[in-house]
Amino acid sequence: MRIRPLILTLLLLLAPATLACAQDAGTINGQGVLDAVVAAQGKVVVIDFFASWCKPCLMEIPDFIEARKHYPADQVVFIGISLDQDQGQYFRFVKQTPFNFPVHLADPDIINTFGVTMIPKTIIYDPTGQQALNHAGFMPGEMLRQVLDKLLAGGGK
């Protein structure tokens, strides 16, 4: 009977480490992102391209986390894509940031597939899967909410 308390204690000790990296969804390539957009048909899809060393990216990530809390998952899908080249730096960043949406490490083809020439970059798809916004540079939370509200109300671009 002493084994059960030991197992429970170990599970409780390991759970925070497991949860801390729970939003790391692995590496993703361009086709994987496009497949995710198709799979989300009927929902708005927000793709945030960032890197852990990018100061404007660090400024906007909290707004994306807040937006994820505000918009139901059955209406809006958020996908984070890190362009970090140092995997250790990426994993440390994901572990310490309270992401509430999946975050992927970008495969090298992401840059060409989505024309990422600067970060942060946000691409938003409407519920029909059509690109509604391709925004390079910092996106304030208010701007993100305005775009999402308009798309969810059926306002298109």
Per-residue pLDDT reduced to its tens digit, 112-122 = 999 999 999 99
Task: Render pLDDT for 33-55 as a digit per residue (tens, 0 to 9).
Answer: 999 999 999 999 999 999 999 99
Given this model, what pLDDT does residue 11 score?
A: 37
For domain 23-152, which architecture applies?
Answer: 3-Layer(aba) Sandwich (3.40)
Can you give the residue ranges of every domain in the chain? 23-152
The DSSP code sequence of 2-38 is: -HHHHHHHHHHHHHHHHHHTTTEEEEE-HHHHHHHHH
Nearest Cα neighbor of 121 from 53, 67, 35, 54 is 54
User: What pTM, to 2 d.p., does this model score?
Assistant: 0.83
